Structures are given as C-alpha cells and as structure tokens.
Amino acid sequence: MTTSENLSDVTTGTDTSSTGADSVDYADSRETTEGRVYSVSGGDWDDIVSDAGHDERMVINMGPQHPSTHGVLRLVLEMEGETVTQLRSVIGYLHTGIEKNCEYRTWTQGVTFVTRMDYLAPLSTEMAYCLGVEKLLGIQAPPRAELLRVLLLEINRIGSHLVYIATGGMELGATTAMTLGFREREVVLHLLEELTGLRMNHAFIRPGGLAQDMPADFEEKVTEFIKVMDQRLPLYDKLFTGQPIWRNRLKGVGVLPLDACLALGITGPILRSAGLPWDLRKTEPYSRYDEFEFDIPTSTDADCWSRYLIRVEEMHQSLRIIKQVLAKLEPGPVMVEDKKVAWPAQLSIGSDGMGNSLEHVKKIMGQSMESLIHHFKLVTEGFHVPPGQVYTPVESPRGEIGAHLVSDGGTRPLRVHMREPSFVNLQSMPAMSEGGLVADVIAAVASIDPVMGGVDR
C-alpha cells in the first residue's frame, strides 16, 4: 500500500482508459519489475457510513424447523440490524385435517381425533367437545364423572404449564428449567397413565361421562402426587423467580397491553397478565367448578415475566382444586344410564389392559340376541344426535378452547370446528415483537406457549 501523498505523485503507468476516469481515486496502479501493482484505499470513512445509512433491511426465516419456535412454526422476520421491524407468522406445516376427519366418524369416535389437537392438554379439548355433544343431546354427565373430569383437567393443566417452563427455559439457555420441568412433567404423565391408561391423547372423557371409573387405588396415587408437587413447586421460585438473570431476561419483554389483548381476542395467561381476571372456570363455570374455592392470579405488567409468574401460581391453584375434588368424591356411575348413548356399554378392560375382559364378553353374548345386536349397532353406527348447533367453551392452559358442533340429526357430526387458543394467541406475535430485538422474539413465543397441533388442525 502507498500513502495518499505518494499516490498523487505516481502518474506513470496509470491506465485511465481501462479503469475509468474516477477509478484513480480508489485503485491507482503503477508498473514495477514484477508487473502492475495496484494501490487500493477504502476512501473516506465518513462517506462510507453515509452511503450505508439508507434503509437497508434483511429478511430472515426463523423456522419451521427452528428449535425455538415450538414445533413447526415459521416466523418471517424483517430486520434492521438486530431490531425486528416486521414479523409474520406462517402456519400450516403440521396440518392434520382433524376437524374434517371428525365428519366421517361417529360422535364418540370424534373424541379420539380432537384429543390430538392440543397434545399438551388433550383432556381440555376432549372436555369442550364432549360438553358440546351432551348439550345437543340434552344430557348431563353423572356427578362423579363431573368431579373426575375436573380432577383430570387440573392434573393436565399442571403438566402443560411444566412444559411451558421447561421449553421456555431451554430456549433462553436455562437448561436447569428444562431438566426440572420435564422431571415434574414425567410425574404428571405417569399419574395420567395410572388413571386413564395412556400418557397422552387419552380419549378418556366421552359423551355422557367417562370411558370407565378410576382404578381402586387412584386416591392414594393422586394424594402422593399432591405431596410431591407441594414439595417441588417451591423450588421453581427459589431457582427462577428470585434469579436476577431470569427476571431481567423476561421483564419488560413481549409487552401486550389489555386493549391489544381484547382487540386480538387473546385469552388465557396472556390476557390475565394484562390485568383482566377472565377465566371460564370462574366467569362461566362448567362441570361443578363453581363449587370449588380457588383464585385467579393476574398482573398488570403484561410482559413475559408476569406470564411466567401467573402460570406458576396457577399450578398451586390447580393442586388446591384437586384436593377439594378428592374431598367431594362419592360413589356413583361415571356414564349416563341411557343405553342408547352410553358407549361403550359398561366396558370392562381385559387383564392385559387392552380390549374387553372375558367376563364382559360373556355377559354381552349371554344376555340375548337383541342385546348383542344393540351393542353391535351402538359401537359401529353410534347414536343419533338431534339437529342443531352449539358452542361450548372450556378454560385450557392456553386460554379459551371452544367446540362449535353442528348436527343434522345423524350419527356423525355435520361440522366440527374448534376455537383453538394457540391459533388465536399467535396473532399477538407482531405486536409483542416488532420494535424489539430478535433475541426477545424467542422469549415472546415461549410466553405464548403455542401448540402447533392445535394451530394446524
């Protein structure tokens, strides 16, 4: 390299015809014994900065296979530096056609489909669907079945919130949150397997009640679960609530005030973090929720930090409800007595945990041919549901999940449509993220806690 003073003295060997009249300012050259040598300078730095100062933005994809987008969610970010100027959510990568499939199955078989939507809170989806079917039929589940439904829903709520802490912590680099959250969630799944036979996608809540009664020792199992969670939940406050890094990473991030929540139809912990104590278990009680004492935690900070605190407190309130359910339980049926609706009729599981027990088969076969034909038709064709349409909402861990069911009087739904909170709540992503840093997009997505199985149903 030569200095600018030396460059002004070098005139021999400059080829202005090939490089252009202005090129001498940037790439002068001279001939040497080794050939032509170029002297390249960057020009004046102030001029370079001013040239780059125009609105130059880049568009990047986050997802759909990104580990921090909660499954197959694609976020298209328009960025200026590290600041997000525009965000668009792109969905549809996990489309299953669950709602359409329900139209080709009986009303009872539809439960096995809807339970696979929100796979972190399948019992909430089952509950909304079955309440809708029961409303069309004009029936109500027996008291014991209603209480056991509440028990299952609250256990499932705890498990869902634990996954929120685990995955949200993992995405923000808090691996301890991941290991602890999934450790406790495994306790929840073991308990649900004891109660329903399956860890997930239970299809245990059925139109008219439950698939079957609880096992003989279920109260002992649930009581032990309460003891374990009462001991372990305070650990989250010690490790995270009072942890300055965790607090600073979430506080003031992903803010969505109350007016924005109402404009976008946001429900669940996001809405309650903005100050509105809207919880369907209190505002529109179902399944005897009005008989229980529990609080609805709220905040006015409307940020990721307040959503974390609300979910932790909701787990404590769920344990409180579970204890009250155990105190209220009394013997009784768990399915309506109407033999034209109660499917499967007095099902008794075999010793292998699968299929009908031999005693049950013997009973069905030994009663009468009419009884056998009725059982066969009930299982294969299903029951008729009077014409009409209903909407039944339930408070899932993510917000209001509602079932809009339409019947034409047949044994299959004419239309099944679910109001899924993950789908609606994702609308808040641009409002939470635009104007903030790209790193805060991860925290905002985690605070929404979306489940793509519910979004792409």
Is the pLDDT reported for residue 1 higher than 70? Answer: no
Tens of pLDDT, residues 80-137? 888 888 888 888 888 888 889 989 988 888 888 999 888 889 999 999 999 999 999 9
For the residues 427-451, what does the mean pLDDT come to?
A: 88
DSSP state of 290: G
Is the pLDDT reported for residue 413 higher than 80? Answer: yes
CA pair distance 413, 215, nearest whole angstrom: 32
CA pair distance 110, 74, nearest whole angstrom: 29
Q: How far is CA 248 from the centre of its chain?
A: 24
Has this prediction a pTM greater than 0.85? no
Six token digits for residue 288: 């005897």
CA pair distance 143, 8, nearest whole angstrom: 97
Is the pLDDT reported for residue 49 higher than 50? Answer: no
CA pair distance 402, 419, nearest whole angstrom: 5
Tens of pLDDT, residues 122-177? 999 999 999 999 999 998 999 999 999 999 999 999 999 999 999 888 888 888 88
Q: Report the pLDDT value the prediction gives residue 4, as an integer from 0 to 100.
A: 41
Enumerate helices (H) and strands (E) in the chain, giving the number of each.
20, 10
Q: Find, among 203, 149, 163, 110, the residue nearest to 398 by Cα.
A: 163
Tens of pLDDT, residues 235-249? 888 888 888 888 888
For the residues 50-67, what does the mean pLDDT come to?
A: 68
Is the pLDDT reported for residue 42 higher than 70? Answer: no
Q: Report the pLDDT value the prediction gives residue 68, as an integer from 0 to 100.
A: 66
Tens of pLDDT, residues 351-369? 555 556 667 667 666 666 7
Q: Rounded to whole angstroms, what are the CA distances from 379 to 336, 341, 346, 403, 426?
A: 16, 10, 12, 23, 39
Q: Is 210 helix (H, G, I), strand (E, B) or coil?
A: strand
Q: Find, among 426, 118, 441, 420, the residue nearest to 304 by Cα.
A: 441
Give the domains, in start order, of the chain with CATH numbers. Answer: 4-51 (no CATH), 92-138+140-337+386-455 (1.10.645.10)
Task: Give the model's confidence band at 312: pLDDT under 50 very low, under 70 low, under 90 confident, else very high.
Answer: very high
